[in-house]
Structure 1
Amino acid sequence: MEVDASSLEKKESNEVVLMISGVECQSGGSSPKPNTDPIELENPPLSSQISNLTSLSAHELTQSIPTPSELLNIPTKKSTSGSSFVKLKSRFMEPPHPSDTSASASKDTVQPVPSMSRIGSVPSPAAEEEDDEDVCETVNPKSQVMSGKTKVVLAQQVAFVCITGLLITSLTIRNLQNTVIWHVPLWGWCLLLLAIFCGSLVTDWLITLLVLLIEKKYLLKKNVLYFLFALKDSAEVFAWLCLVLLAWVWLINYGVKRSRHTTKILNWVTRALASCILGAALWLIKTFLIKLLAASFQCKRFFDRIQDDIFQYYVIKKLSGPADTKISLKVNIEKLIKIKPDKVSAWTTKNLTDFLNEAEQPDKEITDEYKAKDAAKAIFKNVAKPRSKFIEEDDLLRFMPKEHIEKFFAFFSEAKETRKIMKSFFKSWLVNVYRERKSLTHSLNDAKTAIEELNNLASAVLLVVVIILWLLLTGLLTTQVLIFISSQLLLFVFIFGDAAKQLFEAILFVFVMHPFDVSDRCVVDEVEMEVEEMNILTTVFLKNNGEKISYPNSVLSSKPISNFNRSPNMSESVEFMVNFSTSVESLEALKDKIKKYLDSKPKDWKPGHRVVIKEIVDSDHLKMALHVTHTTNFQNATERNDRRSDLVLELKKILEELRVLPR
Structure 2
Amino acid sequence: MPEPSARPTSSRNPSWDMLRGKFDGYEQFDSRNASEAHLVFAEGDMPNDKVSKFYSYLLSASIITRWFIFIVPILGIIWIPGILQLTDTTPNGEVWGVKFLWWSIWLSVVWGGWWAALAGSRLLPIIIRSTVGVIAIATRRYIDWASALHRYVAFFAWTLAMWVSFNPLINARQSKDASEHSVHAIDIIVRLLFGFYLCSAVLLFEKFAIQFIAGKFHERSYAERIADQKFAVRSLVVLYRHSSDIPGRSDTLKASHAKNASVNPSKILKKAMKGVRSVATTTTTAFGNVASEIAGSSVLQPNSPQAMVKTALESANKTKLLARRLFYSFAKPGADFIFPEDIGRFFPTQDEADQVFSLFDKDGNGDASREEVEVACQDFHREQLSIMHSMQDLDSAVGRLDNIFMTVYAVAALLILAVCLEAGLSTVITGAGTFILGLSWLIGAPLADVLTSIVFLFIRHPFDVGDRVVINKDSYMVKEIHLLSTIFLDSQGVFMQVPNSVLNTHFIFNIRRSGQMSEQFTFDVAYGTSFDDLEKLREIMLNFLKTERRDYQPSFDVSVVDFPAQEKMTLSAEIKYKTNGQMEGMKARRRNKWVCALKTSLAQVPIFGPAGDPGGVSGPTKYTQIPWEEVKAEEDRKAAEVAQETKSAPVGGWKLVDENAAMSGC
Please, what TM-score do these two structures have when normalized by structure 2? 0.66
In the other structure, the counterpart of 2:375 is: 428
Query: Which of 283, 287, 291 pairs up with 2:207?
Result: 287
Query: Which of 93, 102, 110 pairs up with 1:196?
Result: 110
Q: Deviations over 1:24-51 (max 9, x none)?
A: xxxxxxxxxxxxxxxxxxxxxxxxxxx9
- CA distance in 2 between partners of 1:613 and 1:146 (Å): 83
Change (3 A) 1:451 1:154: farther
Q: Deviations over 1:48-70 (max 9, x none)?
A: xxx99xxxxxxxxxxxxxxxxxx
Question: Aligned-residue CA RMSD in angstroms?
Answer: 3.5
Pairwise CA distance, 1:587: 2.7
In the other structure, the counterpart of 1:300 is: 220
3-state SS of 1:631 partner: coil
3-state SS of 1:360 partner: helix
- CA distance in 2 between partners of 1:190 and 1:376 (Å): 70
Matches within 5 A, 1:93-172: 148=63, 153-159=67-73, 162=76
Q: Deviations over 1:274-294 (max 9, x none)?
A: 111111111011011111111
3-state SS of 2:579 partner: coil
3-state SS of 2:572 partner: strand
Mapped contact 1:396–1:405 kept (Cα < 8 A): yes
Query: Which of 147, 151, 169 pairs up with 1:229?
Result: 147
- CA distance in 1 between partners of 2:310 and 2:383 (Å): 20
1:261 and 2:209 are equivalent in the alignment: no
Change (3 A) 1:293 1:557: same
Instruction: Specify the code of the residue in structure 2 equivalent to 1:277.
Output: Y
In the other structure, the counterpart of 1:624 is: 571
Q: Which runs of 5+ in 1 are unaligned?
A: 1-50, 53-144, 329-358
Mapped contact 2:128–2:143 kept (Cα < 8 A): no
In the other structure, the counterpart of 1:216 is: 131
1:406 and 2:406 are equivalent in the alignment: no
- CA distance in 2 between partners of 1:523 and 1:620 (Å): 36
Pairwise CA distance, 1:212: 2.0
In the other structure, the counterpart of 1:62 is: none
Mapped contact 1:323–1:398 kept (Cα < 8 A): no
Q: Deviations over 1:588-645 (max 9, x none)?
A: 3211211111111112101233123333344353322222311111222222122111
Mapped contact 1:534–1:540 kept (Cα < 8 A): yes
In the other structure, the counterpart of 2:544 is: 597
- CA distance in 1 between partners of 2:238 and 2:528 (Å): 61
- CA distance in 1 between partners of 2:389 and 2:79 (Å): 54
1:243 and 2:161 are equivalent in the alignment: yes
3-state SS of 2:154 partner: helix
Instruction: Specify the code of the residue in structure 2 equivalent to 1:471.
Output: A
Q: Deviations over 1:218-275 (max 9, x none)?
A: 3534244122213321121111112122232222222532111111111112212211
In the other structure, the counterpart of 2:443 is: 496
3-state SS of 1:566 partner: coil
Mapped contact 2:314–2:385 kept (Cα < 8 A): no
Q: Deviations over 1:430-473 (max 9, x none)?
A: 12122222211111111111111111111122112212321332
In the other structure, the counterpart of 1:273 is: 193
- CA distance in 2 between partners of 1:481 and 1:552 (Å): 36
Q: Compare the two structures and name the one with the higher helix fraction.
A: 2
Higher relative contact order (CA 8 A, sep 6+): 1
- CA distance in 2 between partners of 1:488 and 1:174 (Å): 56
3-state SS of 2:581 partner: coil
Q: Deviations over 1:9-28 (max 9, x none)?
A: xxxxxxxxxxxxxxxxxxxx
- CA distance in 1 between partners of 2:224 and 2:427 (Å): 57
Pairwise CA distance, 1:396: 0.7
1:518 and 2:465 are equivalent in the alignment: yes
Change (3 A) 1:146 1:473: farther
Instruction: Specify the code of the residue in structure 2 equivalent to 1:422.
Output: S
3-state SS of 2:524 partner: strand
Mapped contact 2:240–2:309 kept (Cα < 8 A): no
3-state SS of 1:551 partner: strand
Pairwise CA distance, 1:578: 2.5
- CA distance in 2 between partners of 1:465 and 1:369 (Å): 50
Matches within 5 A, 1:348-363: 360=307
The number of aligned residues is: 488
- CA distance in 2 between partners of 1:363 and 1:231 (Å): 30
- CA distance in 2 between partners of 1:630 and 1:496 (Å): 49
Pairwise CA distance, 1:564: 1.4
Mapped contact 1:184–1:251 kept (Cα < 8 A): no
- CA distance in 1 between partners of 2:437 and 2:171 (Å): 40
Mapped contact 1:409–1:415 kept (Cα < 8 A): no
Pairwise CA distance, 1:401: 2.5
Mapped contact 2:236–2:309 kept (Cα < 8 A): no
3-state SS of 1:610 partner: coil
Mapped contact 1:518–1:531 kept (Cα < 8 A): yes
Instruction: Specify the code of the residue in structure 1 equivalent to 2:354.
Output: E
Q: Which runs of 5+ in 2 are unaligned?
A: 1-34, 37-59, 245-287, 290-305, 613-666
Mapped contact 2:363–2:550 kept (Cα < 8 A): no
Change (3 A) 1:147 1:282: farther
| Seq. identity, % | 23
3-state SS of 1:575 partner: strand
3-state SS of 2:571 partner: strand
Change (3 A) 1:163 1:406: farther
- CA distance in 1 between partners of 2:422 and 2:70 (Å): 33
Query: Which of 515, 518, 524 pairs up with 1:577?
Result: 524
3-state SS of 2:445 partner: helix
- CA distance in 1 between partners of 2:91 and 2:541 (Å): 106
3-state SS of 2:566 partner: coil
Instruction: Specify the code of the residue in structure 2 equivalent to 1:251.
Output: L
Change (3 A) 1:428 1:486: closer
1:472 and 2:419 are equivalent in the alignment: yes
3-state SS of 1:387 partner: coil
Change (3 A) 1:281 1:212: same
- CA distance in 1 between partners of 2:576 and 2:426 (Å): 72
- CA distance in 2 between partners of 1:646 and 1:585 (Å): 25
In the other structure, the counterpart of 2:505 is: 558
1:384 and 2:296 are equivalent in the alignment: no
In the other structure, the counterpart of 1:541 is: 488
- CA distance in 1 between partners of 2:307 and 2:353 (Å): 23
1:396 and 2:314 are equivalent in the alignment: no
- CA distance in 1 between partners of 2:78 and 2:243 (Å): 63
- CA distance in 2 between partners of 1:384 and 1:167 (Å): 84
Pairwise CA distance, 1:503: 0.7
Instruction: Specify the code of the residue in structure 1 equivalent to 2:601.
Output: I
Mapped contact 2:125–2:146 kept (Cα < 8 A): no
Q: Which has the larger radius of gyration?
A: 2
Pairwise CA distance, 1:190: 3.3
Change (3 A) 1:430 1:323: closer
In the other structure, the counterpart of 1:442 is: 389
Mapped contact 1:366–1:434 kept (Cα < 8 A): yes
Query: Which of 236, 252, 257 pairs up with 2:170?
Result: 252
Please, what TM-score do these two structures have when normalized by structure 1? 0.66
3-state SS of 1:540 partner: strand
Change (3 A) 1:577 1:230: same
In the other structure, the counterpart of 1:77 is: none
Mapped contact 2:114–2:154 kept (Cα < 8 A): yes
3-state SS of 2:563 partner: strand
- CA distance in 2 between partners of 1:273 and 1:579 (Å): 90
Instruction: Specify the code of the residue in structure 2 equivalent to 1:409.
Output: F
- CA distance in 1 between partners of 2:408 and 2:202 (Å): 11
Q: Deviations over 1:287-328 (max 9, x none)?
A: 11111111100111101111112111111122223369xx99
| Higher mean C-alpha deviation, range 481-490 or range 397-406 | 481-490
